[in-house]
Amino acid sequence: MKTDSYKKAVKRRRYHVRKKAVGTPDRPRLSVFRSNRNISAQIIDDVAGVTLVSSSTGSKALKDQVADGGNQKAAAVVGEAIAKEAISVGIKCICFDRGSYKYHGRVKALAEAARKAGLAF
């Protein structure tokens, strides 16, 4: 079970990242959530309070491509998929929100795959 000090540290890290990463209509925010089994990403316009595009290893479209949703390969597939969906909607430039996670491992793999697929951070 997580201790109170751990939970406070997570909230503090998330607050410091979100203070700088704000999604606007011109430059929406790419938010990442990871669990032990899956990773998901969504592009959000914070001004309107709307999710524009989302992708996850649990979605029907990507479930067939990914055997295990909790590794770097799966994160790269999600990053590529969300970039393709965003470009098809007309989003080219985003603000990256890693949440309380370090820019390392699966979060880094997702971000680099999205960059390769054409999104500008």
Mind listing the domains of the chain with CATH numbers?
4-116 (3.30.420.100)
Pairing status of strand 39-45 against strand 29-34: antiparallel
Report the predicted TM-score, pTM, of the whole model to 2 decimal places: 0.88
Bridge partners of 93, per DSSP, are 120
Determine the average pLDDT of the residues in 57-86. Answer: 93
Helix-strand-coil percent breakdown of the chain, rounded to 5? 40, 20, 40
Identify whether the C-beta of residue 51 lies closer than 8 Å to the C-beta of residue 87: no
User: What does DSSP say about strands 95-97 and 39-45: parallel, antiparallel, or unpaired?
Assistant: unpaired
Give, rounded to a whole angstrom, the gap between the first and last alpha carbons of the chain. 36
Tell me 111's DSSP state: H
User: Which one-letter amino acid corresponds to residue 45?
Assistant: D
| Percent with pLDDT over 90 in the chain | 69
**pLDDT at residue 67, as a whole number:** 87
Per-residue pLDDT at 1:
65
Q: What percent of the chain is predicted at pLDDT more than 70?
A: 99
